[in-house]
Structures are given as C-alpha cells and as structure tokens.
Amino acid sequence: MRIDTLRQKADVELREELENLREDCFKRQYRSGSDETEERGKVIKLRREIARILTLLRERELGLQRGRKNAPPGAGEGGKE
C-alpha cells in the first residue's frame, strides 16, 4: 500500500492493518520452509509495509509533519548577504 493511502487512514484503521500484516507475516515465515524463495519475497514486502505503518504512527504520535525540516528559521534561504 502506498504511503499516501496510509496517511488518509485513521490511527485505529492503521493499527488494525498493522495487526493483520503482522499475523500474515508470521504465517508466511512459518510456511517458508517449503517454498522459500517466493515466500521470502512476500515476507520482505510485508515487513516493509509494517515499517511504513509504524513510522506513520510514530510521526503522528510526535506531531511531526511530512517534509518538515529541523533547520533553524532562515537557514537554507537562497540569498547571500
């Protein structure tokens, strides 16, 4: 799922999605003994999706906005004085 789509969801929806992804990831890891290469690729994608959701939830918890920089005011302005 794209990050833009995830940003539109409420925290409750994200937590439900997170729980489902974790469960699916666990099941796929458990089954990966027989068809390791294909399952492994899916597990990696699931883990990335889980990381995206956790990052988004943490951003919201800290009150951060996407694209916001921690530079002091006036820093990075193009003109020389």
**Domain residues for 24?**
3-62
Angle between helices 36-62 and 11-31 (to 10 degrees): 160
Encode the chain (81 residues) as per-residue pLDDT tens digits: 788 899 899 999 999 999 999 999 998 888 766 666 677 888 899 999 999 999 999 999 999 877 544 544 444 444 444
CA-to-CA distance for 81 and 79, rounded, in angstroms?
Answer: 7
**Using an 8 Å Cβ cutoff, are 50 and 25 in contact?**
yes
> Would residue 77 count as lying in a domain?
no
CA-to-CA distance for 81 and 70, rounded, in angstroms?
Answer: 23
> Would residue 31 count as lying in a domain?
yes
Amino acid at 31: R
Work out the number of other CB atoms within 10 angstroms of the CB of residue 28: 18
pTM of the model: 0.70
Q: Structural domain tally of the chain?
A: 1
> Would residue 74 count as lying in a domain?
no
